[in-house]
Amino acid sequence: MNDPDDRPSRPRGTGRISRGGAPRRVDPSRRSVQRPSERARSVDPARKAAWETMRAIDDGAYANLELPKQLRRARLTGRDAAFVTELVYGATRMRGLYDPILATCTDRPLADIDPAVLAVLRLGAHQLLGMRVPAYGAVSQQVALTRELLGAGASGFVNAVLRRVSEHDLETWQRQVAPRGDGRAGELAVRTSHPAWIVRAFRGALLGHGAAQEDTVDRGLRELLEANNAAAKVMLVARPGLCEVAELEAAGGRATGLSPYGVELDGGDPGNLPAVRQGRAAAQDEGSQLVVLALLAAELRGDPPHQERWLDLCAGPGGKAGLLAALAGSRAVLFANEISDHRADLTRRAVAAAVDAGSEVMVGVGDGRTLGEEEPDTFDRVLVDAPCSGLGSLRRRPEARWRRQPHDVSGLGELQRALLRSAIQATRPGGVIGYATCTPHLPETRYVVADVLAERDDVEIEDAQPLFVDASGAQIPDLGEPPYVQLWPHVHGTDAMFFALLRRREAT
């Protein structure tokens, strides 16, 4: 039998779906999208793995952690793995658009649909509207998946709903379901599948960081939201002294233009590379790499130490600590602090290869908010990679936009201020503090730094922009209004990392 995915025919609609899951009016000649002899007889392993991943995400799992487990369990590689990745990330990312579409295709409230069935429908909607899967194959395979996993009754409901979804293309559906008359944010929220509060936060961030003006912000906002919906490249860091960029290039990667240690992969599981398995390289966005390099490029004042003391105040899960440890060598001792035992263990794994190569690293468990009191005036360089809303990494964490709420930010702001105060106290006079977040949201970035600076007379802010140079040594453009640095997915191709450089004043 031909693979249903290869069949180009599109099913016709049956009308609105009743609460019982059957069409209200059924033409016997159109009772099924395909003849019984043509229905998919077995479940596609790739689609089953995608559904299993979606169910785990519904239960609180993170896509970037759960998906590799499901791919290994199903023994999927190459094109099949890429298909599952796009299916899961796309269906999760675009649910803010697909759910209103699905809601118009049945009069049953989505909240009343079994979550297991809703996961099937979201995966089907993405195949029909976001991927180049022929309608016949998408519907047939999702129906077969439902029949095997959830029963014949549910499969009939899925068949009817997805047939209705297939009646229109994406643009037509967007025009039908995007709200009108409630302002630009509401329409953009549905069209680009972002919560409206995030759309408003991004608009304010573009203006507040100087990335756009009133006459250009609408265009910039759309570009940013669209960039959040584009699949992020797999980005690696070749940890210096442990792995050369050339080794990762030989494994199929390409050297990047921003970080001198960055390597881009077209896809696949980075864990399959020996350098990654051994901890000599790791998955890490270029924005995160640039933050570490900027902190280490800042000049120290006062008596230069024979061996510098570095502190990563919020080290888990260890990505930035791994790069710091590799760069430390004989230059510095790295202290990595983490409040969580589990994340401290992850940090130890991240720095293990550098420790084996001779770097001196100490990983400890403690509350970063009190470390400054416990070890005042101690460190030359302190990184505060503060816990944040993560709005800058929505490309890589498709579920994050649906889990964060506006009230989360107020609590994070207090934590961020407390950590920055502690970091300043832990820094010796003449030393530097790097405050970084993976979000451009103003209440987590500029406002936090400004509030802490207003409280103290022992610290000053410096222009961080000259420290952000690309792999060739040239100044990276479009970093926003100094003295801060704000990177953007739609401008720099990185996560939306924010960075501020503070210096502890020397005694007079």
Q: Are strands 254-255 and 262-265 parallel, antiparallel or unpaired?
A: antiparallel
The helix or strand, by DSSP H or E, that contains position 31, with its residue range, turns out to be none
Helix, coil or strand: residue 465: helix
Q: What is the distance between the alpha carbons of residues 92 and 98, in angstroms, rounded to a whole number?
A: 9
The helix or strand, by DSSP H or E, that contains position 209, with its residue range, turns out to be none
Helix (DSSP H) and strand (DSSP E) numbers for the chain: 21, 12
The helix or strand, by DSSP H or E, that contains position 415, with its residue range, turns out to be helix 406-426
User: What is the torsion angle, in degrees rounded to the nearest 10, for the CA atoms of residue 59, residue 130, residue 187 and residue 203?
Assistant: 80
Q: What is the distance between the alpha carbons of residues 294 and 290, in angstroms, rounded to a whole number?
A: 6
Contact 239, 259 (CB under 8 A): no
Task: Tell me, yes or no, if 388 is annotated catalytic.
Answer: no
**Closest to 457 (Cα-Cα) out of 383, 394, 507, 387:** 507
**Closest to 275 (Cα-Cα) out of 265, 289, 290, 288:** 265
Identity at 42, one-letter amino acid code: S
- Longest alpha-carbon distance in the chain: 90
**Closest to 409 (Cα-Cα) out of 195, 178, 124:** 195
Q: What is the distance between the alpha carbons of residues 297 and 487, in angstroms, rounded to a whole number?
A: 18
- Any idea what DSSP says for residue 2? -
- In the block, tokens 């919020």 appear at 314
Q: What is the distance between the alpha carbons of residues 94 and 85, in angstroms, rounded to a whole number?
A: 14
Q: What is the distance between the alpha carbons of residues 18 and 25, in angstroms, rounded to a whole number?
A: 10
Helix, coil or strand: residue 375: coil
- Tell me the CB-side half-sphere exposure of residue 172, using CA atoms within 13 A: 8
Identity at 409, one-letter amino acid code: V
Q: Residue 318 corresponds to which tokens in the numbers above?
A: 């260890």
Print burial letters for 196-230: b (CB count within 10 Å at least 16), e (below 16): bebbbbbbbbbbbbebbeeeebeebbbbbbebbbe
Helices (H), 15-151: 45-58, 63-74, 78-93, 95-104, 115-129, 135-150
- In the block, tokens 């007889």 appear at 41
Q: What is the distance between the alpha carbons of residues 395 and 380, in angstroms, rounded to a whole number?
A: 34
Q: Are strands 427-437 and 379-385 parallel, antiparallel or unpaired?
A: parallel
**Active site members:** 438
